[in-house]
Structure 1
Amino acid sequence: MLTAYDRALDDITVLASGAGDLTAPTPCAGWDLADLFGHMVGQNLGFTIAVADGDAPVGAYESVPVVGDDVARTWQDSATRVRNAFGTADPEATIHLAEFGFHPTVTVALGMQLLDAAVHAWDVATALGQTYRPTDATVTVVLDMARQIAARPGGTPVFAAPLAAGGEDPWGDALRLLGRDPNQAAAA
């Protein structure tokens, strides 16, 4: 799973280097690209601390302000940190994710971050008027997790309410289950 996560982080790095106008709206309601990148960088930094130290305070996950000229470097720095943390951690170690009040293994936390990176790569690409589809292996992981998230009573505060899955395309179904319309017109 670490290889798939590395690939998703690299895909976002490529997208970040072409981000340009950070005021472009994203599929995340109320967020422009600056908000989305700030969120992703904050999550990377929080997970870095939690994975490396076994715990991180809620504040460690907070959004980080990003600016156009520096978004690619800021993103890349956070991606390198989180990649290194996961790469050197014991996969079976239990950590505390204070933001979620959850004690998963490093492997489960990695799956959570893989889902987040793949879906947010799609969000960024859509905002930039591009298409994005992760590898089939990543789609399989994300779809399985999206089904679990969508099946939770009351949903989850992390993603928008699930939309009905169509069954034609696994990636489209994963996006729908996480509250995104895969047919959404790109904002470019």
Structure 2
Amino acid sequence: MATQTSDLLAAAAPRTVDVVRGIGDDQLDLPTPCRDYTVRDLLNHLIEVVVNFQALAEKRSVEWADKPDHLVDGWRDRFEAETGRLVAAWSDPSTLEGVSPGMGMPQTVIGGMALLDLTVHGWDLAVATGQPYEPAPEAVAELRGLVEGLAPTARRMGVFADPVPTSSVDLPDLDHLLAQTGRPPTWLPTR
């Protein structure tokens, strides 16, 4: 069985998995567009997101305070396996029903947040490590509305930075999404 959420995650996941597989061990200390996050920090966060959002699909509580180092032997393979589990976790239509007991938001929003992290952090890691990245267009289209709805609260909580002013209203969808989450679409690492 599949849901719109699992279909979108299935479209986005391989693109981010490819980026993660392309990260060299010598790139783990590079900066990323996420303030105060190195590539290592962001990888650890993204692995935690992929694992925790599997539990959130099942309406279980998760612990965000633990910050283990997930970058141990086989971490690239583990990330790929966990993203597959994430897609499978959101494929049951019941995952989209009701409100998340742990997050207090509709389950449809929670599934969208997993997609947002997978997509935007895929871009973050790609630009930080000099890799190409083309997000799933259907995911980006879906995420624009989600980000507009989440942005005020996310900014108050420090999850999103202030929106980045842009010079064009005709931005590509990804650039608009990045700007709304506080990322300059033209970000380049300073080494």
TM bin, normalised by shorter chain, reads 0.7 to 0.9
| Alignment correspondent of 1:102 | 104
Distance 2:66 2:10 in 1: 22
Query: What whole-Å deviation, never above 9, does each CA across 1:132-175 have from its counterpart, x for those lacking one?
Result: 23233222112222222334596442222222244221221110
Is the 8 Å Cα contact of residues 100 and 110 (structure 2) preserved in structure 1? Answer: no
Is the 8 Å Cα contact of residues 4 and 137 (structure 1) preserved in structure 2? Answer: yes
State, as a whole percentage, how many aligned pairs show the same letter: 23
Q: 33, 46, 56: which is aligned to 1:50? A: 56
Question: Which is worse superposed, 136-145 or 174-183?
Answer: 136-145
Distance 1:64 1:77, change over 3 A: farther
Distance 1:123 1:81 in 2: 22
Distance 1:97 1:159 in 2: 23
| Alignment correspondent of 2:133 | 132
Is the 8 Å Cα contact of residues 99 and 106 (structure 2) preserved in structure 1? Answer: yes
Question: Which is worse superposed, 146-155 or 24-33?
Answer: 146-155
Distance 1:128 1:68 in 2: 19
| Alignment correspondent of 2:115 | 114
Instruction: Report the 3-state secondary structure (helix = DSSP H, G, I; strand = E; otherwise coil) of the residue aligned with 2:161.
Output: coil
Distance 1:19 1:154, change over 3 A: closer
Q: Which amino acid aligns with 1:25?
A: P
| Alignment correspondent of 1:93 | 97
Q: 14, 29, 35: which is aligned to 1:29? A: 35
Distance 1:94 1:116 in 2: 21
Q: Which runs of 5+ in 1 are unaligned?
A: none
| Alignment correspondent of 1:182 | 185
| Alignment correspondent of 1:167 | 169
Kindly report the root-mean-square deviation, in angstroms, between the aligned alpha carbons of the 2 structures.
2.4
Distance apart, 1:187 and its partner CA: 6.0
Query: What whole-Å deviation, never above 9, does each CA across 1:13-61 have from its counterpart, x for those lacking one?
Result: 1111111021121111111111111101111111111212x221334x7
Distance 1:160 1:138, change over 3 A: same
Q: Which runs of 5+ in 2 are unaligned?
A: none
Is the 8 Å Cα contact of residues 49 and 117 (structure 2) preserved in structure 1? Answer: no
Is the 8 Å Cα contact of residues 151 and 160 (structure 2) preserved in structure 1? Answer: no
TM-score where L is the length of structure 2 = 0.83
TM-score where L is the length of structure 1 = 0.84
